[in-house]
A and B are shown apart, each in its own frame.
Chain A
Amino acid sequence: MSFDNLDTLYRQVIMDHYKNPRNRGSLDDESLTVDMNNPTCGDRIQVHLQVEDGKVKDAKFEGEGCSISLSSASMMTQAIKGKTIEDALGMSKYFSGMMLGEKEADESNMDLGDIEALQGVSKFPARIKCATLAWKAMEKGFEENK
């Protein structure tokens, strides 16, 4: 049984974010709101972004999902707060690369924080879309409001 592999997927820090999601909730009407769903499972996530002077002042998320999609959303909101849009998008790009197994977390010169724990998802191709859901929502939000 390959539970070792499972342990790389469900790292303690991921389970912690799943159990105690950070930044769960909504922001006021002025914020940017993006809906994104995972067509393979019907999970839905809503990301709220408050941008001021080109910086992410606040970020929150709502929705239903699996441990991977919710913990990733929780970690993302934590990571992008205070970052410029450019940095947030750069982080998202790096994260996608990490999911595809093209980039290693420790090669990054960014402060990925807890996000590093999601690296194990790259070994589970069926779950990559769960991990990238919130990130795609953020990208879409910035794309549409350029």
Chain B
Amino acid sequence: MDAKAIREQFPILNQEVNGSPLVYLDSAATSQKPLSVIRALDEYYKQDNSNVHRGVHTLGTRATDKYEGAREKVRKFINAKSTQEIIFTRGTTTSINTVAYSYARANLREGDEIVITQLEHHSNIIPWQQAAKATGATLKYLPLQQDGTIDLEDVKATITDRTKMVAIMHVSNVLGTINPIKEVTQIAHQHGAVMLVDGAQAVPHMKVDVQDLDCDFYAFSGHKMCGPTGIGVLYGKKEFLENMEPVEFGGEMIDFVDLYDSTWKELPWKFEGGTPIIAGAIGLGAAIDFLTEIGLDEIAKHETEVSDYAIEQLNTIEGLNIYGPEKRAGLVTFNLDGVHPHDTATILDAQGIAVRAGHHCAQPLMKWLEVTATARASFYLYNTEEDVDRLVAGLTKAKEYFGDVF
């Protein structure tokens, strides 16, 4: 894989920020978009824009074909059985909330348990806190190992016959931990629990096969995988989705409307109220084409190389602490002694280097790490070892800058 050639496909990366060439190391927050995705959106709005599933006219047919074509691309990408199992949403958060509202509220009772981890993003914590409050179910946390991984023995001890729902992230957005989803799903199923996976940080970076994982729900976002913002996916096994009530009513999802009662369309449209996110889905389809052409295995390999190099180089900086396990996805979360991550990020930004600083929407994990905030550099297919060198030089400057004070 030639990251430098790939980089040429991302016009935004070719610019100066604060007088230096941009080094973008915040793809875990949102990835940049290749020309093919930008063109797909441009073409759709210039040539095909129309509402779907209703116009008899030609543009309506074109828009519908493209929208449903994108659904098929998503199906194939994650190896779902049927496009009926692919629901377009606004993003991972909406996908998880759909399950927490529709499935969990209808199926959980007092005495039932929901199991999550302290690694989770707020979007995979709060929906379950709220579902627990609404149903009387109990929220339970899987313990974490010292390095931020989960141990299958703990999983076996925590998930019981009372557990009705298990919701876990595939890859941690802070520590890069890759969770053993297939194994946890097996344990959950042995106890009759339903398994939801937050795949926001996994799908952009590695091959995900929902049938192989055997999870019941899988949620992810388009914007972290070279697609536009505002589009995401909820995958759900048909047998679950069929028995679930819609969360939004009106627009695209209706079948027949009477004065006092109505019926819904079949799957997947039953969950797509309002005018769907047509352009977003088409953009996501183009992003999937882009990633597939390069190959997810190639992308994963490249990211591992860059992040291994980053860890090796960052370890040479005295007073820099890296959080997370040895085997990790392509991101590094760290803190520099005596320099608050906000200050680190500002000093890096002054050198054209974009990193994330803060709690990364994972305040319970920050509490576990006993820090209020951290800095994070996250890598994607367009990042190179030169980017890492710039980061290391930038951090050395930050240290010098603050070192004068202490």
Residues of A within 8 A of B (CB): 1-3, 5-6, 9-10, 15, 18-19, 40-44, 64-69, 124, 126-127, 130
Which A residues are CB-close (under 8 A) to B351? 1
Q: Which residues in A have their C-beta under 8 angstroms from that of B342? A: 41, 43, 66-69, 127, 130
B61 CB within 8 Å of chain A:
no
B343 touches A5 (CB 8 A): no
For residue B170, CB closer than 8 A to chain A, the reply is no
Q: Does the CB pair B372–A43 fall under 8 Å? A: yes
15 contacting pairs across A/B (C-beta < 8 A) = A1-B18, A2-B19, A3-B350, A6-B350, A10-B343, A10-B401, A15-B405, A41-B357, A41-B358, A41-B359, A41-B373, A64-B372, A67-B340, A127-B342, A130-B342
A78 to B18, CA, bound (A): 34
In the complex, what residues of B have CB within 8 A of residue A64's CB? 372
Q: Which residues of A have CB within 8 Å of B49?
A: none
What residues of chain B lie closer than 8 Å to A41, measured between beta carbons? Answer: 341-342, 357-359, 372-373
Compute how far the CA of A93 lies from the CA of B358 in the bound complex, rounded to whole angstroms.
27
Chain B residue numbers with a CB within 8 Å of A65 are 340, 372
> Given A1-B350, A6-B350, A66-B342, does the pair A19, B359 have CB atoms closer than 8 Å?
no
A42 touching B346, Cβ below 8 Å = no
User: CB-nearest residue of chain B relative to A67?
Assistant: B343
B322 interface residue per 8 A CB criterion: no
Bound Cα distance A91, B316 (Å): 46
A42 touches B373 (CB 8 A): yes
Answer yes or no: B190 CB below 8 A from chain A CBs: no
Contact (A2, B350) CB under 8 Å given A41-B357, A130-B342: yes
Task: Return chain A residues, CB-CB under 8 Å to B358.
Answer: 40-42
Chain A residues whose C-beta falls within 8 Å of the C-beta of B346 in the assembled complex? 6, 9, 124, 126-127
Interface Cβ pair total, 8 Å cutoff: 61
CA distance A126 to B355 in the complex (A): 13
Minimum C-beta distance from A2 to chain B (A): 5
CA–CA, A48 and B306, complex, Å:
47
Q: Give min CB distance, B271 to chain A, whole Å.
A: 30
Interface residues of B (CB under 8 A from A): 18-20, 340-343, 346-347, 350-351, 357-359, 363, 366, 372-373, 401-402, 404-406
B347: chain A residues within 8 A (beta carbon): 6
One of B18, B401, B404, B405 near A2 (C-beta < 8 A): B18
Task: Kindly name the residue among B19, B402, B405 whose own CB sees the greatest number of chain A CB atoms within 10 A.
Answer: B405
Question: Nearest-CB distance from A6 to chain B (Å)?
Answer: 5
Cross-interface CB contact of A42 among B18, B363, B404, cutoff 8 Å: B363
Cα A65 to Cα B372 in complex, Å, equals: 8
A66, B343: Cβ atoms closer than 8 Å: yes
Beyond known contacts A15-B405, A68-B342: 17 more, CB 8 A cutoff:
A6-B346, A6-B347, A9-B346, A15-B402, A41-B341, A41-B358, A41-B359, A42-B359, A42-B366, A42-B373, A43-B342, A44-B372, A64-B372, A65-B372, A66-B341, A67-B343, A126-B346
CA distance A19 to B338 in the complex (A): 10
The reply to whether B401 and A6 contact each other, CB–CB distance below 8 Å, is: yes
Query: How far, in whole Å, are A1 and B18 apart by their CA atoms in the complex?
Result: 6
Complex: A42 Cα to B374 Cα, angstroms: 10
Bound form: Cα–Cα A126–B356 in Å: 12
Identify the interface centre among B18, B19, B373, B404: most chain A CB within 10 Å of its CB: B373
A64 → chain B closest CB, angstroms: 5
Known: A15-B405, A41-B357, A41-B358. A1 touches B343 (CB 8 A): no
